[in-house]
Chains A and B, each alone.
Chain A
Amino acid sequence: MSRLSIGLVHELITESLAAWHVAGIVEQTSDCAIVIGAKREIRIEPAQAGSMFRWTVTIDGRTRPAISLLAVLRQVRGALDPGYAVSRVRVAVSPVVPS
């Protein structure tokens, strides 16, 4: 059973728009997609089973895959927030657990 419910994604997108100060209405459809009604029309849905990607993001009719929620957020914000420029995190090389 998936721990990541579409309801949680809906909440994440809603809160993200608020955090970015971007206007828009976020709705959950009956076929488990998230639709954002803003200056551009955006649809987020789980990728087909067997795909190497987890999500597809359709912006104004153009569909692109996204490998994670982080990638989804990047695409959505890039479409809605003209002032957004990805600022890559700077992390020194290190093991993710103690060596």
Chain B
Amino acid sequence: MDTELIPVSVLTGFLGSGKTTILSHLLRQPEFSRTAVVINEFGEVALDHELIETSEDSVVALTTGCLCCKVRTDLTQTLQDLLRRRDEGACTQFNRIVIETSGLADPAPILHALMIDTALAGRLVLGNVVTTVDAVAGEVTLEREAISRKQVAVADRIVLSKLDVTSGVEASLRSRLTALNPRAPTLCATYGRIESDNLFGAAFHDPKTRVLEVSSSLAEAPEHTHSDHDAEIKSFTVVRVEPIQAVALTLFLETLAEHCGADLLRLKGIVNVAESPQQPAVVHGVQHVFHAPAWLSHWPSDDRTSRMVFITRSIPRQWVEVLLDAISAEVTDVAGNH
């Protein structure tokens, strides 16, 4: 059995801040070919693991809830399972583990769990904590969401994402990040691209120091439960078996952006577009900002349904459902009239 300590890095950041995009990019780099990935999603349907294109068999999706809450034990169990599979030769001999947290996760309890679990202590060592911050919506998010401030505060590296949709980073955002975490270097990502050496390749911090940092963070929130997240934050998934016409999808996204604004914390989906049956579209939206759909080269699985995961504040699911139905029907009518 390989006795070399395996670094576990944590990739965190608020909903829609670009974690999955950056991870997808990193996993395509040769130096990341032996990376095991644990993905935690806060939603009914796990999508992130389908959006990450990797040939590895060591991607694990944890969908039972938020890592930092009730499934902390699930995380340690998952890591133990990964190590067992590695030892048995049942998966790639990975030399690195990256945990992508849900966007609502407090990373501090996760780091705490990684460090105090005796079953893991002899095999794993805590690597860098990388926190993504949306260069467009980041300042508003930091203002509104206490958890996002915590995510920044515990970071070893801060990655400003989405520089491709903004002309620059506001000085006030940089100041805010520096105030929250003066130690962490701030890096920039464009279209999810970033120098991997700058992220996870650095030497690890002194574990004793990290324990102190985590302890300090825990002291700020002695009891972390899901009610701490925000009682109004809800996650639901809109599923459609029938393909959605491209124009209907566009109008649907436009309506959501217009009427939901900051209450649409996150939309992430894979969509079967009628005009492109072999290549699904991946849609991403955060508050007012929607990215142009990205087109996958092929379906990641046999499931051809459109699945859009919403994380919202006070937006009723029924409204979203009927909105999509009505817009689709209208687009069909217009197309039929021509």
Interface residue? B250 (CB, 8 A): yes
B residues whose Cβ falls under 8 Å from a Cβ of A: 164-165, 246-247, 249-251, 253-255, 257-259, 261, 273, 275-276, 279, 288-293, 295, 314-316, 318-319, 322-323, 325-330, 332-334
| Residues of B close to A3: CB separation below 8 A | 328-329, 332-333
| Most chain B CB inside 10 Å of its own CB: which residue of A5, A93, A96 | A96
CB contact under 8 A between A8 and B290, given known A2-B333, A73-B259, A96-B246: no
Which residue in A12, A89, A91, A96 is a CB contact (below 8 Å) of B322? A12
Question: Are A91 and B292 interface neighbours, CB within 8 A?
Answer: yes
| B253: min CB distance to chain A, Å | 7
Question: Are B273 and A97 interface neighbours, CB within 8 A?
Answer: yes
| Residues of A close to B314: CB separation below 8 A | 21
Interface residue? A25 (CB, 8 A): no
A9–B325 alpha-carbon span in the complex (Å)? 10
| A21: min CB distance to chain B, Å | 8
| Residues of A close to B289: CB separation below 8 A | 90
* B256 to A, closest residue via Cβ: A89
Which residue in A8, A86, A87, A94 is a CB contact (below 8 Å) of B329? A8
A77–B258 alpha-carbon span in the complex (Å)? 11
* B249 to A, closest residue via Cβ: A96
A residues whose Cβ falls under 8 Å from a Cβ of B: 2-5, 8-9, 11-12, 15-16, 18-21, 54, 68-70, 73-74, 77, 86-94, 96-98
CB contact under 8 A between A19 and B319, given known A54-B330, A91-B292, A97-B273: yes
Question: Are B292 and A12 interface neighbours, CB within 8 A?
Answer: no
Question: Are A15 and B253 interface neighbours, CB within 8 A?
Answer: no
| A8: min CB distance to chain B, Å | 5
CB contact under 8 A between A90 and B288, given known A12-B326, A96-B247: yes
* A16 to B, closest residue via Cβ: B319
Question: Are B251 and A70 interface neighbours, CB within 8 A?
Answer: yes
Contact sample, A vs B, 17 pairs, CB 8 Å cutoff = A4-B326, A5-B329, A11-B326, A19-B316, A54-B334, A68-B330, A69-B330, A87-B258, A88-B258, A89-B253, A89-B257, A89-B258, A90-B165, A90-B289, A91-B292, A96-B275, A97-B273
| A14: min CB distance to chain B, Å | 9
Question: Are B329 and A91 interface neighbours, CB within 8 A?
Answer: no
| Residues of B close to A18: CB separation below 8 A | 316, 318-319
* A67 to B, closest residue via Cβ: B334
Question: Are B251 and A68 interface neighbours, CB within 8 A?
Answer: yes
CB contact under 8 A between A73 and B255, given known A4-B326, A90-B165, A93-B292: yes
| Residues of A close to B291: CB separation below 8 A | 91-92
| Residues of B close to A73: CB separation below 8 A | 255, 259
* B136 to A, closest residue via Cβ: A90
| Residues of B close to A16: CB separation below 8 A | 259, 319, 323
Which residue in B257, B261, B279 is a CB contact (below 8 Å) of A98? B279
A36–B119 alpha-carbon span in the complex (Å)? 63
Which residue in A5, A70, A92, A97 is a CB contact (below 8 Å) of B255? A70
Which residue in A2, A15, A91, A96 is a CB contact (below 8 Å) of B318? A15
Which residue in A2, A5, A9, A89 is a CB contact (below 8 Å) of B254? A89
| Residues of B close to A87: CB separation below 8 A | 257-258, 261, 288
A98–B289 alpha-carbon span in the complex (Å)? 21
| Residues of B close to A20: CB separation below 8 A | 259
| Residues of B close to A2: CB separation below 8 A | 329, 333
Query: Besides the contacts A8-B322, A54-B330, A96-B293, what 5 more A-B pairs have beta carbons closer than 8 Å?
Result: A2-B333, A12-B322, A90-B289, A92-B165, A97-B273
A88–B273 alpha-carbon span in the complex (Å)? 23
| Residues of B close to A91: CB separation below 8 A | 250, 253-254, 290-292
A89–B330 alpha-carbon span in the complex (Å)? 20
| B58: min CB distance to chain A, Å | 30
